[in-house]
Amino acid sequence: MGGYALYVWGSYGVTLILLGGEVLMLWQRKRKVSHNTPSD
């Protein structure tokens, strides 16, 4: 990356962490709601 690896990979890494974290938290919320909502 021509000496800019920290900045470029850092940017995409932060993006992956934040979007991945959002997906993970959403999955956990979905599981919690499914568990708490009884279905016949």
Partner 1 sequence: MSKRTINWYKYAAPANFYPLAGKMIPWFATASALIFVVGLYVSFFVAPTDYQQHEAYRIIFIHVPAAWMGMFLYVLLAIYAGIGWAFNARLSSMMATAIAPTGAIFTLISLVTGSLWGRPAWGVWWVWDARLTSTLILMFLYIGFISLQSSIDDARRADRAGAVLALVGVINVPIIYFSVQWWNSLHQGATITAKSFKMAPSMLAAMLILLAACWIYSIAVVLVRVRCIIREREHEAPWLAEAEA
HEC letters along 1-40: CCCCHHHHHHHHHHHHHHHHHHHHHHHHHHHHHHHHCCCC
Query: Residue 23 contacts by C-beta under 8 Å, 6 or more apart in sequence?
Result: none
CB of 39 to partner 1, least distance (A): 4
**In angstroms, rounded to a whole number, what is the distance separating the alpha carbons of residues 34 and 6?**
41
- Name residues contacting partner 1, limited to 2-31 (CB under 8 A): 2, 4, 7-8, 10-12, 14-15, 18-19, 22-23, 26, 29-30
36 touching partner 1, by CB under 8 A: yes
35 touching partner 1, by CB under 8 A: no
By the criterion CB under 8 A, which residues form the site for partner 1? 1-2, 4, 7-8, 10-12, 14-15, 18-19, 22-23, 26, 29-30, 33-34, 36-40
